[in-house]
Structure 1
Amino acid sequence: MSFDNAYEALADAHDDSRWAFGTGFEDPLSGMDTSVPPGVDGPTLAQYCLMLGDDALIMSHRLQEWCTNAPELEDEVAIANIGLDLLGQARLLLARAGKADGTGRSEDDYAFLRPEHEFRNVRLAELERGDFGQLIAVLLVFSTWRLALFQRLAASVDPVLGAIAEKGVKELTYHRDYAARWAVRLGDGTARSRERMRAGLDGIWPYVEELFTPHEIEVRVGVDPASVRAEFDDVLAQVFAPATLTPPEVAPRVGVAGRTGRDGVHTEAMGYLLAELQSVARALPGATW
């Protein structure tokens, strides 16, 4: 069948003339047994899923800001695909949270209808978009840390969370490798590229310590992030050596009274990010299309 434009083709494929506006999405956990395993506290599991889901959602939003801004077309596609991978992880994890806490809230409820202080993502994911050197620094740190967590989380006592993590491992392996290759190219490239890679690491490094600071929810039902620090340091050392880089010597930003993103305390950038992310849902509450 021929179409006059791409929109008609998309609408026909989804049997919905309004597909491009967001209808037709199914529950990402459809068909799975989402009952909470015996011995696991549902609300606690939900809070942990929110932490991991918010990390992915907010990081994905930051990555989509690079569409039309990356240095080459190939990287436009790569960064967009990484963002889509993380958005997929966010959908699964936020949907799991709604099943685990018994509220039945959807992924959209969590993404679009929560205030800033209810988001539990690490602050590294929300930092305002900088230059390409900062992007690579953030992506290298974030994906290396998250991959180490997901590799262990695949054996979770919750089969749903374990399946989400197992799927995510394959995606995060690519994310880490993509960032590592660029870190080496920039760090061991020209004086200018090395300067920008170095500046990118310096700018985001104060937020690295937060990634490995255990929160009671993580310890109770998930993976203690402190347990992956050694692996994280080893991987980064393998990347930094050929990139002729070293870890920055900067003081960590510990948040307000020791409270960080996991406690709902965020940077100034988070409010602006959510204002954009949630603008349509806030302007038209309860609307369907």
Structure 2
Amino acid sequence: MAFDNALGAIAEDNDEARWAFGTGFHDPLAGIDTSVPEGIDRHALSAYCLMLGDDALIMSHRLQEWCTHAPELEEEVALANIALDLLGQARLLLSRAGTAEDEGRSEDDLAYFRDAEDFRNVVLVEAENGDFAHSTVRLLLFATWRLALLDRLTTSRDPVLAAIAAKGVKEVAYHRDHAALWTIRLGDGTPLSHDRTQQALDTLWPHTAELFTAHTIERDLVTAGVAVDPSDVRAEFDAVLDEVLAKATLQRPAPAPAPPSSPPASPAGRNGEHSAALSDLLAELQSVARAHPGATW
């Protein structure tokens, strides 16, 4: 379908009772075999898609909270579009998780009818927004990591995951660049904006360790040619961050020293260990669906 503007697409009669749109309106899975390839553990694939889908869903919701609160109208539109891109990715990934699992759960079931301990998003995305500098730095960290991850997932043995990643790369490249420009503007701006941006970076940085810590499911799927080892994207993440932070006159926080002979860190969010902020977020996100189960609009 082709439209001159988004309003034309919204007004069109369609079979979807609930839907979200992001960049483009074509079906990214058109013509792709959606069956689980032979030799891939369908439950592991489902769990992995759930991880990536939850990351996108929760980050999308946090960005949507900036509507009517951003510092300028143009930025409200930009953040809303980034949120819609991530919501579209979440829909595709949660749908893939449901079909791979093959237990009859839809994307709506997974989004609206799981409790906080059943979500597998990284902790970085769930904290409250804070000020604009905090949300900007978080988007930069998240998008830089996710872009590197999605770029490598375009060659996944699961053709559905590869197609979702290919669509996501085009979107998240913009998200990363948008956040980088704002980080530079704030960091290299007034003394107040610089201090707030540095404080945001210092606060968020400890959560980046989880981004590069592989879960057991990820390690198994890397061997199967399906997933990406998150530690493999660390060098690209660091290179991008170093360039942006230098232009923003910001200092990269020093990593916390690890205790001697300590075991490898466990990715808390991937194991369902979350902050209270996620429960509060889900109470809002899921309220209508839980109050009116099965309703359509």
Q: CA deviation at 1:252?
A: 8.9
Instruction: Determine if contact 1:117/1:264 at 8 Å carries over to the other structure.
Output: yes
Aligned to 2:103: 103
Q: Whole-Å Cα distance in 1 between the matches of residues 156 and 266 of structure 2? A: 28
**Separation of aligned partners in 1, 2:36 and 2:101:** 9
Deviations 1:142-200 (A, max 9, x none): 00000000010000000110010011001010000000001111111110110111111
Structure-2 separation of matches of 1:258 and 1:189: 37
Question: Cα 1:82–1:15, aligned 2, differ >3 Å: closer, same or farther?
Answer: closer
Matched, 1:280 2:288: yes
Matches within 5 A, 1:143-162: 143-162=143-162
Percent identity, aligned pairs only, is 62
Paired residue for 2:236, among 216, 224, 231? 231
Query: Where does residue 81 of structure 1 map in the other structure?
Result: 81
Shift of 1:65: 0.2
Distance 1:187 1:155, change over 3 A: same
Partners of 1:141 and 1:223 lie apart in 2 by 18
TM-score relative to the length of structure 1: 0.89
Q: CA deviation at 1:32?
A: 4.0
State the secondary structure of the residue aligned to 1:130. coil
Summarize deviations over 1:24-60 as a string: whole Å, max 9, x none.
6499857642100011010100000000000000000
Equivalent in the alignment of 2:23: none
Which whole-Å CA distance do the structure 2 matches of 1:196 and 1:34 have between them? Answer: 46
Pick the aligned partner of 1:242 from 230, 240, 247. Answer: 247
Relative to structure 1, is the Cα distance of residues 24 and 275 closer, same or farther in structure 2, using a 3 angstrom cutoff? closer
Aligned to 1:265: 273
Change (3 A) 1:243 1:286: same
Aligned length: 275
Q: Aligned in 2, Cα 1:15/1:285: closer, same or farther, shift over 3 Å? A: closer
Partner Cα distance (2:37, 2:94) in 1: 18
Q: 1:244-265 CA distances to partner (integer Å, 9 max, x unpaired)?
A: 1121136499xxx945000001
Aligned with 2:17 (options 14, 19, 23): 23
Shift of 1:15: 6.6
RMSD: 2.4
Paired residues of 1:54 and 1:120 also in contact (CA < 8 A) = yes
Q: Distance in 2 between matches of 1:11 and 1:83?
A: 17
Separation in 2, partners of 1:56, 1:98: 16
For residue 183 of structure 2, give the secondary structure of its aligned residue in structure 1: helix
Report if the CA contact (8 A) 2:129-2:135 is conserved: yes
Gaps (5+ residues) in structure 1?
1-6, 17-21
Residue 54 (structure 1) aligns with? 54
- Match of residue 262 from structure 2: none
Change (3 A) 1:194 1:115: same
Structure 2 CA distance for partners of 1:142 and 1:259, relative to 1, 3 Å: closer
Aligned-partner Cα distance in 1 for 2:53–2:176: 18
* Alpha-carbon displacement from aligned partner over 1:194-231 (angstroms, at most 9, x marks no partner): 01111111121111101111101112221110111111
- Taking the aligned partners of 1:170 and 1:206, their CA distance within structure 2 comes to 28
